[in-house]
Amino acid sequence: MNLAKQHASHCSKGSPVGWLLSILVLVMPVTAKQVTLRIPLQPGEPEEIAIVTFDDDRVSAADVKHWILLDQHAYYSEPSAPASASCETPIPELEQEFVRARQLLDDLDPNKFPPELSGVAAYFKDSQSLWLWIGEQKLEFLKNNKAPDTEYKATDLSRCQVHPETLDRAQACHQVNYVWNNCVVQTMTKELGAYPTAQWKAFLDAYGIQERIESTIGD
């Protein structure tokens, strides 16, 4: 028997060497293809960047970039509608911002995210819906000097009521943009509740995504 045949004989399934090799093949894990991305959490010059590591055989980079915007401090956490409809801001300019805000609500459809993120997406959609409504109330005041409504989705806001029609323009702007705005935000924040941190962490675990947040302030 030549050396090649001897080697084949020793490595056959019936031999100890062949048995050991077959076990090694079974237990050796497939190496995951880990990818790390740096994703800005805010548009423009971000204050924070998410460092995310994941297996791109399980999830795509495009999906991760989309999903990570539901982080507690990311893009959707800031009001898309004008937060302060200044009396000096041209109305057509404000109306364009509302077009973008309404589009963002469509982007937050929970059906556009994995089931594990539906609660997080719904939380941000509720928050952005509130900000859009606040902005629309301010816009109506600017256009028609109309006092903001005293109810939002069955929540009584009469304690926040202001009467801009009885004031001069500067005083009215202050009452609507600051006094009324702050009162509504304070009241509705309690109604909306806190960001669903547990659901976010459960989502990261379910998809094998590791996330670390870095601040860019001071860079």
- Hey, what long-range contacts does 155-161 have (CB within 8 A, 24 or more apart)? 155/187, 155/188, 155/191, 157/183, 157/184, 157/187, 159/183, 159/187, 160/184, 160/187
Q: Mean pLDDT in the chain?
A: 84
Percent of the chain scoring above 70 in pLDDT: 83
User: Are residue 78 and residue 25 in the same domain, yes or no?
Assistant: no
For the segment 137-148, the average pLDDT, to the nearest whole number, is 92
User: Are residue 26 and residue 38 in the same domain, yes or no?
Assistant: no
Q: Which domain holds residue 158?
A: 34-215
Q: What is the pLDDT of residue 83?
A: 62
Q: What is the pLDDT of residue 84?
A: 61
Is 60 exceeded by the pLDDT of residue 27? no
User: Are residue 103 and residue 84 in the same domain, yes or no?
Assistant: yes
User: Are residue 197 and residue 109 in the same domain, yes or no?
Assistant: yes
- Number of separate domains in the chain: 2
Query: Could you tell me the pLDDT band of residue 219, with boundaries at 50, 70 and 90?
Result: low
For the segment 79-93, the average pLDDT, to the nearest whole number, is 76
For the segment 109-118, the average pLDDT, to the nearest whole number, is 95
Percent of the chain scoring above 90 in pLDDT: 64
Is 60 exceeded by the pLDDT of residue 34? yes
How does pLDDT run across 180-209, given as a tens digit for each residue? 999 999 999 999 999 999 999 999 999 999
What distance in Å separates the CA atoms of residue 175 and residue 162, rounded to the nearest whole number? 7
User: Are residue 23 and residue 106 in the same domain, yes or no?
Assistant: no
